[in-house]
């Protein structure tokens, strides 16, 4: 039987998961960490420590600045040296808390043992509160505060929770390794999310280029069915590999055959989507009292001599990670934070990791050099590839003409910046750059209008 | 045969007359009476439709100007005072003459001054580049060099200098419409008073980094040391967020700040004579020394009061 996938567009880049056999190993703690106060979508957190304060790993160092914000915890034990501006990976200035590491002491009450706790608390509010206190944000890339996602707007009902194990980005393997090594925890985390949302059905969606993970998680899910309760409603669904399957709206289409209309949220069609690493973070926050202070990062690339999946404390300088694995290879021309499709080129290797950092990818000049731009030949490949059903070639023309009304009418604001248009364009036109500009401007106009 | 031709001519002519009559009647019936001054004003305008006045184009400007009680909120930067005088004449208003302005690029981060640490391979647009990262150099504030301003200029007044990688403004062509100011995502370009015979002073840097970081990023950066502000005897310079700014309304073009600036971030343009830095420096230092001595003498006389002032400050 042909596997399910999303119905509109998509591309098939080579998956290049060369680090798939590398176990997640813990990276030794860096001598100094730099924890940014803005690591999530929404308002930056407000620092609650002062230079000179002693902190332990798991201590709150910044509190949410608004409803749409998240707690930030210290990922190490040591002394706060300064709170001030520092350049992030794109060279822009961010406020960071600099902590000099001394030993590795954890805050009391955090359970660091491997014992699996499978009992689900009854009260959904208590789960959401613990998720909030744990500073959990979506680890699929958007770093949306999870407690906000779990607090459903009044009148909305969730019909299905989808756990996103697609990892459709080429090269990245941290979700895959998490599924293999922490599968039980992910399944318990799934049940916790179900309890918080008050939903009885959950689907763990995994692309079929990861058969080991599908088999492993299926085994765990069927063995957990005996426990009853929320565990009975969990299913594993293998999906056909296609990029960008891990996109929220694409995944809902693939799993539930429902389209999220323009301007709507997944909950409007009864779905909530969370990443597998988010499920793990929820498990740790709720069952182990352990806040989100470390995440798994894939360090990979054909030109990089040592592939690795590392458990990295939040705020570790990128340079420290790279030096630990032997430094930047000579023929690497570009370092990307994240995957090759949606990741961001790193302009500053002194920058530190964030909660949402999922990978560090090294590419050579041949791999990254863009082809020279030529004229659009109206082949329509970008429209075919766009998973949101947009027409990137048209949006480009409208943007060049400065027609904002037409851009809005043609749904430039729906762009998910997956890069399929740029990937498929035979003329080398920087469609993604232009469409994401258009998206930003249209969204700005829409926000301004909503304020009035 | 001949009857067919005659009939054809007759029918076509009749039809033409009928339609002409209909058109005439419709035109009479739906005639829009427009203030004739609108057309007059529009004719007096440069017709560039650049939007520099803040209206959608020259016609929109004319419409609004005719209705306005005075011309305080209407100024065509392209036509300048001459055009405005004509417009005022048509409408019977009086106008205050405005000093002509010119666009000024406040970045001197040329390839020599600002070492490139990254290579950009994306879409050749400053807006796109600015949304992706802070730029090719350590300076997160300076010119990105993709030429959005060149594209925005409708008067062909801006060009990129390949040697420096920075935009150059042709003062003759610049009309101070402000399109480039809006186009620059880094806010580097500013409209400043053209100054007497084009002479003007400005700080050619907008870097808000602290001194050492700014200096590391660019040899010509303003490091916010404040020497210029201390030197200025006209109170025209303020240092805010580690960057100096010269108020063109107060500047008396004495060029002392330019001579004293340790990084050469302050530029004076169109002066007839080159600046003799050493001489001006010596003069300023002499004056400052005298002022210090005088202050010390005054402090020795009325010490308690001075101390009180310091406490308050």
Report the CATH number at residue A185.
Answer: 3.40.50.11540
Dist CA A113 CA A364 (whole Å): 41
Evaluate whether residue A332 is within a structural domain.
Answer: no
Dump pLDDT digits (tens) for A230-283: 899 999 999 999 999 999 999 999 999 999 999 899 999 999 999 999 999 999
Tens-place pLDDT, residues A47-102: 999 999 999 999 999 999 888 999 999 999 999 999 998 989 988 889 999 999 99
Mutate to test the interface with B, among A433, A440, A444 (most CBs of B within 10 A): A433
CA angle (B139 as vertex; B133, B143 as ends), nearest 5: 80
Contact of A96 with A82, CB cutoff 8 Å? no
Among the candidates A259, A287, A315, a domain finishes at: A287
From the list B123, B125, B134, the residue facing A347 with the nearest CB is: B134
In a domain, A153, yes or no: yes
- A155 with A280, same domain: the answer is yes
Question: CA of A350, closest CA in chain B: separation in Å?
Answer: 12
Listed by number, the residues of chain A in 380-439 with a beta carbon closer than 8 Å to a beta carbon of chain B are 430, 433-434, 436-437
Q: How far is CA B157 from the centre of its chain?
A: 12
User: Closest partner residue to A91 among B121, B128, B133, by Cβ?
Assistant: B133
Q: Do the domain assignments include residue A111?
A: no
Q: Which residues of chain B have pLDDT under 70?
A: 1, 303-313
In a domain, A253, yes or no: yes
Contact A87 B140 (CB under 8 A): yes
Residue range B60-69, pLDDT digits in tens = 999 898 888 8
A228, A252, A287: which is the final residue of a domain?
A287
Secondary element (H or E) of residue A83: strand A78-87
Backbone phi, psi, residue A120, to 5°: -95, 125
**pLDDT value at position B69?**
86
- Would you state the CATH architecture of domain B101-269? 2-Layer Sandwich (3.30)
- DSSP-derived secondary structure letter, A266: G
Mutation to test the B interface, candidates A342, A347, A368, most B Cβ within 10 Å: A347
* A26 CB-near residues (< 8 Å, 6+ apart): A310, A311
On whether the CB atoms of residues A252 and A269 are closer than 8 A, the answer is yes
Residues of A in contact with B127 (CB under 8 A): 437
A370·B140 Cβ contact <8 A: no
Mutual orientation of helices B303-312 and B277-301 as an angle, nearest 10°?
110
> How many angstroms separate the CA atoms of A270 and A258, rounded?
9
The helix/strand/coil state of A238 is strand
Of B122, B127, B135, which is closest to A91 when you measure between CB atoms?
A: B135
Task: Tell me whether residues A347 and B133 touch, CB distance under 8 A.
Answer: yes
Give the pair of three-digit tokens for residue B218.
Answer: 């660019």
Give pLDDT, residue B303: 62
Give the gap in angstroms from C-alpha A368 to the nearest C-alpha of chain B: 9
Provide ipTM, 2 decimals. 0.84
Instruction: Tell me which residue in B122, B125, B134 faces A91 most closely, judged by beta carbons.
Output: B134
Looking at the partner chain, which of B121, B131, B134 has a beta carbon nearest the beta carbon of A437?
Answer: B131
Scan for tokens 């947009």, then name that residue: A390
CB contact under 8 A, B131 and A87: no
Predicted TM-score (pTM) of the model is: 0.84
The chain B residue lying nearest A92, using CA atoms, is: B134
B128 vs A91, A93, A433: nearest CB: A433
What is the C-alpha separation between B183 and A131, in angstroms, rounded? 43
Q: Give B136→chain A minimum CA distance, Å.
A: 8
Residues 30-69, chain A, touching B (beta carbon < 8 A)? none
Contact: A344, B122; criterion CB under 8 Å: no
Of all residues in chain A, the one with the smallest CA distance to B118 is A347
Closest residue in B to A371 (Cα–Cα)? B121
Of B282, B200, B210, the C-alpha closest to B239 is: B210
Say if the Cβ atoms of A368 and B123 lie within 8 Å: no
The whole-angstrom distance between B229's CA and the closest CA on chain A is 26
Count CA within 13 A, CB hemisphere, residue A109: 8
Residues of B with CB under 8 A from a CB of A: 117-119, 121-123, 125, 127-128, 131-135, 138, 140
Cα distance between residue A152 and residue A142, in whole Å: 18
pLDDT at A352: 94
Contact status, residue A242 vs residue A210, Cβ threshold 8 Å = no
pLDDT of residue B56: 87
3-state secondary structure of A109: coil
pLDDT at B305: 53
Same domain, A399 and A277: no
Q: What is the nearest CA distance from A75 to chain B, expressed in angstroms?
A: 27
CATH architecture of B36-91: Orthogonal Bundle (1.10)
Question: Does A417 reside within a domain?
Answer: yes
Name, in order, each residue with C-beta under 8 angstroms of B8's C-beta and a sequence gap of 6 or more. Answer: none
Residue A425's domain spans which residues? 381-451
| Pairing mode, strands B200-203 and B237-240 | unpaired
Distance CA B16, CA B14 (A): 5
Q: For residue A365, give both structure tokens.
A: 């000049």
Q: What's the rounded Cα separation, in Å, for the pair B238 and A434?
A: 39
Residues of B in contact with A370 (CB under 8 A): 121-122
Pairing mode, strands A160-165 and A202-207: parallel
Contact B180, B103 (CB under 8 A): yes
Contacts of A87 in chain B (CB under 8 A): 134, 140
Pair of tokens at residue B100: 């002509």
A90 part of contact set with chain B, CB < 8 Å: yes
Contact B122 A430 (CB under 8 A): yes
3-class SS string, B151-199: HHCCCCCEEEECCCCEEEECCCCCCCCCHHHHHCCCCCEEEEECCHHHC
Domains held by chain A: number: 2
The reply to whether A411 and A278 lie within a common domain is no
Residue A92 has its nearest CB partner, among B123, B134, B138, at B134
The predicted-structure confidence for B169-206, as pLDDT tens digits, reads as follows 999 999 888 999 999 999 999 999 988 888 999 999 99
- The reported pLDDT for the residue numbered B312 is 46
CA distance B3 to chain A (A): 56
Q: Which of B49, B124, B132, B139 to mutate to test the interface with A (most CBs of A within 10 A)?
A: B132
pLDDT (0 to 100) of residue A1: 54
Last residue of a domain, one of A287, A309, A330: A287
Picking from B133, B152, B242 by the largest number of A CB atoms within 10 A of its own CB, the best residue to mutate is: B133
Q: Are A131 and A150 in contact (CB under 8 A)?
A: yes
Place of tokens 């730029």: B135
**Using CA atoms in the order B200, B204, B205, B206, what is the torsion angle rounded to 10 degrees?**
40
Mean pLDDT of chain A, nearest integer: 93
Low-confidence ranges of chain A (pLDDT < 50): none
What residues of chain A lie within 8 A of the CB of B118, using their CB? 347
| Residue A67 belongs to a domain | no
* Domain membership flag for residue A389: yes
Longest pairwise C-alpha distance within chain A: 64
To the nearest whole angstrom, how far is the Cα of B216 from the nearest Cα of chain A? 14
């Amino acid at each position: 039987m042909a596997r399910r996938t999303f119905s509109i567009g998509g591309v098939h880049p080579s998956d290049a998961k060369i680090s798939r056999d590398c176990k997640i190993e813990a990276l030794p703690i860096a001598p100094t960490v730099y924890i940014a106060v803005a690591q999530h979508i929404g308002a930056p957190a407000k620092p609650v420590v002062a230079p000179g304060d002693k902190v332990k790993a798991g201590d709150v160092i910044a509190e949410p600045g608004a409803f749409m914000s998240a707690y930030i915890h210290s990922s190490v034990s040591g002394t706060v040296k300064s709170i001030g501006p520092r350049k992030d990976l794109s060279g822009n200035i961010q406020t960071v808390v600099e902590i000099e590491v001394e030993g590795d002491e954890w805050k009391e009450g955090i359970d660091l043992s491997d014992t699996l706790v499978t009992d689900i608390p009854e009260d959904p509010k208590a789960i959401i509160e613990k998720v909030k206190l744990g500073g959990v944000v979506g680890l699929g890339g958007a770093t949306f505060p999870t407690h906000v996602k779990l607090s459903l707007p009044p009148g909305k009902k969730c019909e299905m929770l989808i756990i996103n194990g697609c990892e459709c980005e080429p090269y990245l393997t941290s979700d895959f390794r998490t599924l293999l090594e922490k599968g039980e925890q992910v399944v318990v985390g799934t049940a916790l999310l179900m309890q918080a949302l008050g939903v009885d059905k959950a689907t763990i969606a995994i692309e079929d280029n990861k058969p080991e993970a599908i088999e492993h998680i299926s085994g765990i899910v069927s063995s957990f069915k005996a426990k009853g309760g929320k565990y009975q409603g969990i299913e594993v669904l293998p999906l056909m590999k296609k990029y960008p399957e891990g996109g929220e709206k694409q995944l809902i289409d693939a799993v539930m055959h429902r389209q999220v209309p323009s301007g709507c949220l997944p909950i409007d069609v009864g779905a909530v989507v969370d990443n597998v690493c988010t499920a793990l973070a929820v498990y740790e926050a709720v069952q182990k009292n352990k806040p989100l202070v470390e995440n798994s990062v894939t360090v990979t690339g054909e030109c990089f001599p040592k592939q690795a999946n590392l458990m990295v404390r939040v705020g570790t300088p990128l340079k420290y990670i790279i030096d630990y694995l032997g430094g930047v290879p000579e023929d690497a021309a570009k370092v990307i934070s994240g995957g090759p499709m949606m990741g961001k080129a790193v302009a500053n290797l002194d920058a530190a990791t964030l909660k949402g950092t999922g990978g560090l990818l090294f590419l050579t000049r041949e791999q990254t050099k863009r082809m020279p731009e030529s004229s659009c030949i109206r082949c329509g490949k970008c429209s075919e590839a766009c998973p949101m059903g947009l027409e990137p070639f048209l949006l480009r023309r409208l943007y060049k003409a400065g027609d904002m009304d037409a851009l809005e009418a043609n749904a430039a604001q729906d762009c998910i910046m997956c890069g399929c248009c740029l990937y498929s364009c035979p003329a080398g036109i920087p469609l993604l750059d232009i469409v994401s500009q258009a998206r930003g401007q249209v969204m700005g106009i829409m926000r301004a209008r909503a304020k009035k | 045969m001949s009857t067919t031709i005659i009939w054809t001519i007759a029918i076509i002519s009749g039809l033409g007359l009928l339609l002409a009559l209909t058109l005439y009647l419709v035109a009479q019936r739906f005639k829009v009476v427009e203030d004739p001054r609108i057309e007059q004003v529009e004719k007096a305008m440069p017709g560039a439709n650049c939007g520099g006045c803040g209206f959608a184009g020259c016609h929109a400007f004319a419409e609004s100007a005719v209705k306005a009680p005075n011309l305080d909120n209407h100024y065509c930067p392209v036509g300048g005072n001459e055009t405005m005088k004509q417009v005022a004449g048509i409408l019977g208003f009086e106008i205050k003459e405005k000093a002509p302005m010119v666009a000024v690029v406040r970045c001197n981060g040329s390839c020599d001054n600002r070492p490139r640490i990254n290579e950009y391979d994306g879409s050749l647009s400053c807006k796109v580049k600015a949304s992706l990262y802070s730029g090719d150099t350590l300076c997160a504030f300076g010119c990105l060099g993709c030429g959005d301003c060149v594209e925005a200029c409708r008067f062909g007044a801006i060009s990129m200098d390949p040697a420096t990688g920075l935009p150059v403004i042709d003062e003759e062509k610049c009309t101070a419409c402000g399109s480039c100011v809006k186009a620059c995502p880094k806010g580097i370009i500013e409209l400043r008073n053209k100054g007497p015979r084009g002479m003007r002073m400005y700080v050619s840097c907008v870097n808000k980094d602290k001194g050492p970081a700014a200096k590391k990023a660019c040899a010509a950066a303003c490091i916010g040391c404040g020497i210029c502000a201390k030197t200025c005897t006209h109170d025209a310079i303020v240092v805010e967020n580690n960057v100096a700014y010269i108020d063109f309304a107060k500047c008396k073009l004495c060029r002392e700040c330019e001579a004293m600036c340790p990084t050469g971030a302050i530029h004076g343009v169109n002066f007839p004579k080159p600046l003799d830095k050493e001489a001006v420096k010596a003069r300023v230092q002499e004056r400052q020394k005298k002022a210090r001595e005088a202050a010390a003498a005054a402090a020795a006389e009325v010490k308690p009061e001075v101390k009180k002032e310091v406490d308050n400050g």
